[in-house]
């Protein structure tokens, strides 16, 4: 028996510390994906796609069709969808591809743990996401035109992307785990991807009502997009949208957990018989859907705004009479509420209203314009005055009237109150700073060009390595 052997029987000593299996696997996969060109080519296509869409959006901007916030949101959405797709198909190739190329057996014959091998592959499959994010950020900056939407997009887009995209890569790998051929793996993975995306394409009417709202929360991609849209475009706060974070979190935990803790140790040379594979696949998908449904149903309901009415002698004033701003600019003002009576007031609610003067008084939904649609004031003692600060984001150009309504809470079930209106702010919003589509072109051209140079370098390096003789 060979208790101790020199490596290769040649006396080569094993000095230094061995690297963990997952790191070795990750390094090899990274070299294969990036130096082999697959990931690099996909990211190149991604950058071209992003550039084209950015250019179209900039053109729309020139025509005043879409404000910067919405452009940024659209680009974030595209970035997530496209990077998720890239990671999904790389994941879908990772195990079935090894089976098809007959390289899996060699890996399984080593003493490295199968979980470590899978973790290394998973991390490599997710690697296009940071690259895609780095490529996306310049586009987001450019289209935001200095709007704070960029900061929100960068923060929440990258955070939610880091939840959803690894989950998609894990789904691809789980399918690949159960597939003997790449064709099956790709086909099933794309099917699942489409199923996940379907809720994001439902018409607005289908998203209304309790079922529609539930679907929005349960569908990971729709929940993600809804969250991002409300944060980036509508100035909503995170607290209001917590319910929409559940689905992406559950998706990430279930898929990545399932891959690493359940599937990885059971990795086999052959994916298994069809019956077993189907049963397990259906079981897995069912578990996934169930957990998502449970997460959705367990989520807290959206904030409900109580409406109550009461009345007392009170006064409300605004420190601004008119303002002329550009679309996208914020308008800041204060209101002062005074209790002019001799009695203690009821609790008070101050609500903001915005009327479009250009279109015969159409009501503008303040939700899209301000993070503060209403503010609450506690009971006021006689003679007390309270100042409230407000912010309105001028979303679209036009002529508007902004005014506040002070609503005392009713004094009982059978009591009512008289709301008191403030004077209005005549707000004129000039068309927003237009984006010259020509200004987008340098980035649209530069990023893919740089990536193509990278692809060219990789190809040159490969060609050089074909006939290079070792002179060591």
Partner 1 sequence: MVNNDAVGEASDRSIPQSEVLLADDLRKAYGNRPALRGLSFTLQSGRVLGFLGPNGAGKTTAIRILTTILEPDTGSFFVDGVGSDHPERIRRRIGVLPESLGLPRYATALEFLTFFGGLYGLAAGAARSNALVLLQEVGLRKRAKNLIGSYSRGMRQRLGIARSLVNDPAVVFLDEPTLGLDPRGQQDLLELVQRIARERNVGVVLCSHALAEVESICDDVVILSSGHVVAKGSVADVIRQARGNVNQETAVRLQVPAEQLVKAHKLLEALPFVAAVSPQIDRPGWLRVDLDSEPERASDHGNGVLSSLIGASIPIVSFETQGGRLGDVFLQLTEGLGG
Residues that bind partner 1 (CB under 8 A): 1-10, 12-19, 21, 24, 27-28, 31-32, 35-37, 98, 101-112, 268-269, 462, 465-470, 472
Closest C-alpha among 175, 161, 130, 153 to residue 252:
161
Name the residue nearer to partner 1 (CB basis): 182 or 335. Answer: 182
Q: State the DSSP H helix or E strand holding residue 114, giving kind and residue range, or none if neither.
A: helix 114-126
What minimum distance in Å lies between the beta carbon of 104 and partner 1? 8
Name the residue nearer to partner 1 (CB basis): 128 or 437. Answer: 128
What minimum distance in Å lies between the beta carbon of 365 and partner 1? 54
Name the residue nearer to partner 1 (CB basis): 101 or 418. Answer: 101
Name the residue nearer to partner 1 (CB basis): 9 or 361. Answer: 9
Name the residue nearer to partner 1 (CB basis): 103 or 449. Answer: 103
What minimum distance in Å lies between the beta carbon of 15 and partner 1? 6
What minimum distance in Å lies between the beta carbon of 185 and partner 1? 16
What minimum distance in Å lies between the beta carbon of 169 and partner 1? 21
Q: CA-to-CA distance for 158 and 131, rounded, in angstroms?
A: 12
What minimum distance in Å lies between the beta carbon of 88 and partner 1? 22
Q: State the DSSP H helix or E strand holding residue 222, giving kind and residue range, or none if neither.
A: helix 220-232
19 Cβ contact partners less than 8 Å away, ≥ 6 residues apart? none
Q: Which residue is associated with the tokens 């940024």?
A: 72
144 Cβ contact partners less than 8 Å away, ≥ 6 residues apart? 68, 69, 71, 72, 150, 153
36 burial type by CB count under 10 A (0-12 exposed, 13-18 middle, 19+ buried): middle
Name the residue nearer to partner 1 (CB basis): 104 or 355. Answer: 104
Q: State the DSSP H helix or E strand holding residue 279, giving kind and residue range, or none if neither.
A: helix 274-298
196 Cβ contact partners less than 8 Å away, ≥ 6 residues apart? 168, 219, 220, 221
Name the residue nearer to partner 1 (CB basis): 20 or 371. Answer: 20
The answer to whether the CB of 68 falls within 8 A of the CB of 432 is yes
What minimum distance in Å lies between the beta carbon of 109 and partner 1? 5
DSSP annotation of 333: E
What minimum distance in Å lies between the beta carbon of 20 and partner 1? 9
Name the residue nearer to partner 1 (CB basis): 117 or 349. Answer: 117
Task: Quote the tokens at residue 250.
Answer: 């559950």
Q: CA-to-CA distance for 443 and 451, rounded, in angstroms?
A: 12
Name the residue nearer to partner 1 (CB basis): 342 or 472. Answer: 472
Name the residue nearer to partner 1 (CB basis): 38 or 426. Answer: 38
Rounded to the nearest angstrom, the gap between the alpha carbon of residue 219 and the centroid of all alpha carbons in its chain is 13
Q: State the DSSP H helix or E strand holding residue 399, giving kind and residue range, or none if neither.
A: strand 398-408
411 burial type by CB count under 10 A (0-12 exposed, 13-18 middle, 19+ buried): middle
Name the residue nearer to partner 1 (CB basis): 12 or 381. Answer: 12
What minimum distance in Å lies between the beta carbon of 31 and partner 1? 7
Q: State the DSSP H helix or E strand holding residue 427, giving kind and residue range, or none if neither.
A: strand 425-430
What minimum distance in Å lies between the beta carbon of 470 and partner 1? 4
Task: Quote the tokens at residue 191.
Answer: 């099917």
Q: CA-to-CA distance for 349 and 417, rounded, in angstroms?
A: 12
The answer to whether the CB of 343 falls within 8 A of the CB of 382 is yes
Q: CA-to-CA distance for 284 and 290, rounded, in angstroms?
A: 10
What minimum distance in Å lies between the beta carbon of 259 and partner 1? 20
């Amino acid at each position: 028996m060979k208790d101790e052997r020199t490596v290769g029987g040649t006396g080569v000593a094993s000095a230094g510390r061995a690297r963990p299996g997952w790191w070795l696997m990750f390094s090899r996969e990274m070299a294969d994906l990036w130096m082999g060109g697959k990931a690099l080519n996909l990211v190149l296509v991604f950058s071209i796609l992003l550039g084209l869409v950015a250019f179209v959006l900039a053109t729309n901007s020139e025509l005043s069709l879409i404000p910067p916030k919405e452009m940024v949101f659209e680009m974030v959405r595209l970035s997530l969808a496209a990077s998720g797709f890239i990671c999904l198909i790389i994941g879908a190739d990772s195990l079935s591809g090894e089976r098809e190329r007959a390289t899996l057996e060699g890996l399984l014959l080593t003493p490295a743990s199968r979980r470590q091998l899978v973790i290394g592959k998973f991390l490599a499959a997710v690697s296009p996401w940071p690259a895609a994010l780095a490529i996306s950020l310049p586009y987001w900056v450019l289209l935001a035109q200095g709007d704070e939407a960029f900061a929100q997009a960068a923060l929440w887009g990258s955070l939610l992307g880091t939840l959803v995209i690894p989950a998609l890569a894990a789904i691809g790998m789980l399918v690949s785990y159960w597939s003997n051929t790449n064709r099956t793996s790709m086909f099933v993975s794309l099917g699942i991807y489409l199923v996940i995306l379907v809720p994001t394409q439902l018409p607005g009417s289908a998203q209304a009502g309790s079922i529609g709202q539930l679907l929005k929360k349960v569908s990971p991609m729709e929940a993600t997009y809804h969250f991002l849209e409300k944060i980036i475009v509508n100035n909503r706060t995170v607290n209001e949208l917590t319910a929409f974070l559940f689905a992406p979190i559950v998706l990430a935990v279930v898929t990545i957990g399932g891959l690493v803790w359940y599937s990885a140790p059971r990795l086999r040379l052959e994916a298994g018989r069809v019956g077993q594979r189907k049963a397990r696949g259906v079981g897995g998908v069912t578990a996934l859907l169930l957990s998502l449904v449970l997460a959705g149903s367990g989520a807290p309901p959206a904030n409900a705004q109580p409406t109550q009415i009461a009345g007392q002698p009170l006064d409300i004033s605004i420190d601004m009479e008119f303002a002329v701003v550009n679309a996208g600019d914020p308008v800041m003002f204060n209101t002062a509420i005074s209790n002019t009576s001799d009695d203690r007031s009821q609790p008070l609610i101050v609500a903001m209203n915005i009327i479009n003067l250009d279109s015969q008084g159409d009501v503008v939904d303040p939700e899209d314009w301000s993070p503060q649609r209403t503010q609450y004031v506690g009971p006021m003692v006689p003679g007390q005055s309270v100042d409230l600060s407000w912010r309105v984001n001028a979303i679209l150009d036009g002529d508007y009237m902004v005014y506040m309504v002070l609503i005392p809470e009713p004094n009982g079930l059978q009591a009512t109150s008289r709301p008191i209106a403030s004077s209005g702010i005549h707000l004129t919003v000039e068309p927003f700073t237009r984006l010259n589509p020509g200004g987008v072109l340098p980035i649209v051209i530069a990023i893919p060009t740089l990536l193509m140079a990278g692809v060219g370098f990789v190809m040159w390096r490969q060609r050089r390595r074909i006939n290079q003789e070792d002179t060591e």
